[in-house]
Amino acid sequence: MVLSLIALSLVVAGWALVANGFERRRLTVPILFVGAGVLVGFSTHDALATALNANATQHAAEFILSILLFVDATDVRGGLFGRNPRAAFRVLLVALPLSLGSAVLLGLWLLPGLPWAVLLLIACIVVPTDFAPAAAILRDDRIPERVRNLLNVEAGYNDGIVSPVFLFALALAVGDSGGGAPSAAPWRALRHALPDAAIAVVVGAVLGAVLAQLSTLAQRRGLMTARSRRVLLVIAPVLSHGVSLGLHGNGFVAAFVCGIAFHYLYDGEALQHDLELLDDLGFLLTLAMWFVFGSVSVLALSDGVPWRTVVFCGLALTVVRMAPMLGALTGTGFDVRDRTMVGWLGPRGTPSIVFGLLSFNLLDTAHETPVLLVTVVVVLGSVVLHGVGYPAAVQACYPEPDRREAS
């Protein structure tokens, strides 16, 4: 583990020295950190297998996801649902459920033998998008502003919306892994997952609202400094995560709801500036997750990958996302090029990795292996498709600057 820490530190330092060069060449960060993780993974194979199944790994993954979900929820630009709420609702409430359902149906065909609960778990892993490691895409002015804004809204909310579904699927799948225990019944899984989610929603909403109102009041009275505002935003997801766990709720759902409530009720004038410290912390945690993921890939791929898994992941990255997007955004002011670009630009990242690691940690051997394989293949495929291939896709859709105003 010391070797891994040294290697990660060296790669972060090296990237920091040439980060602008990466952006100019439109290279995304995961390419570098996954590669470094793969190299280290060859020398830490056995230690990594043990660490992945440790309770500490599970809690660390949940904590990291909590911070990133809070960041996503507070980082939505142009209002709570962006500049085109109708399109945002179509993406989150129509396209997202259709993608989840499509992934389950595809799994029934290509991943035979897995219980439907595990297939739903896999759908929750392969569908959520994450632009944190590929933020350059959202700053690429070759992509129309209306498309970038919609992608920003989707990235802010989609993983938080999927989280309760993931919790339900995990409770159900763990029951299935136990050989058909009573908890495998859907109603028993709901009985386990719903109270956790309900507690998390209440805790997140209350803490987010209280912290936003107190922060606004304190600023008006001149009681806060710029540093204290930034520190408060770092503590908010940690506090909501901890309180929710203490009340037997779910930590990352609480952090997500806390972020939404804080974003909606905060009356300060410089929220984006105040988020800089939390953004940087979230970015560092994301880099660490990509590094760990690279090492995990060595473990997962050591025995080969069935062709059905490769086909499933390829379709999950393309058809499963693009078809619902093309249909859901019809009639929203987005032309075919815009809808195609929204459907294409769906990088998978930290939520997929964390959901996959949590599943690997809790499922039995018969089910953990295919879930880990799908996680690794779909995320690696996304690194290539969206990290290396996105400039060509943008050029194909928008060969000339688009001058229409954002709708």
The pLDDT averaged over each successive group of 10 residues in the chain (407 residues) is 78 86 73 85 66 69 86 77 87 95 95 91 94 69 86 87 89 65 59 83 95 90 88 93 91 90 78 82 86 85 91 95 94 89 88 89 85 94 81 77 49
pLDDT of residue 26: 65
**Whole-angstrom Cα distance, residue 168 to residue 359?**
12
Tokens of 143: 């992509």
pLDDT of residue 272: 72
pLDDT of residue 183: 42
- What predicted TM-score, i.e. pTM, was given to this entire model? 0.86
Q: Distances in Å between the alpha carbon of 115 and those of 279, 300, 352?
A: 38, 21, 20
Amino acid at 308: R
The residue ranges of every structural domain in the chain are: 61-397
Tokens of 267: 């009356």
pLDDT of residue 184: 46
**Whole-angstrom Cα distance, residue 57 to residue 302?**
21
**Whole-angstrom Cα distance, residue 388 to residue 137?**
11
- Classified as helix, coil or strand, 167 is helix
How confident is the model over 68-109, as pLDDT tens digits? 889 888 877 766 777 888 999 999 999 999 999 999 999 999
**Whole-angstrom Cα distance, residue 244 to residue 255?**
9
pLDDT of residue 177: 53
Task: Tell me which fold the domain 61-397 belongs to.
Answer: Na+/H+ antiporter like fold (1.20.1530)
Measure CA 40 to chain center. Answer: 24
pLDDT of residue 82: 77
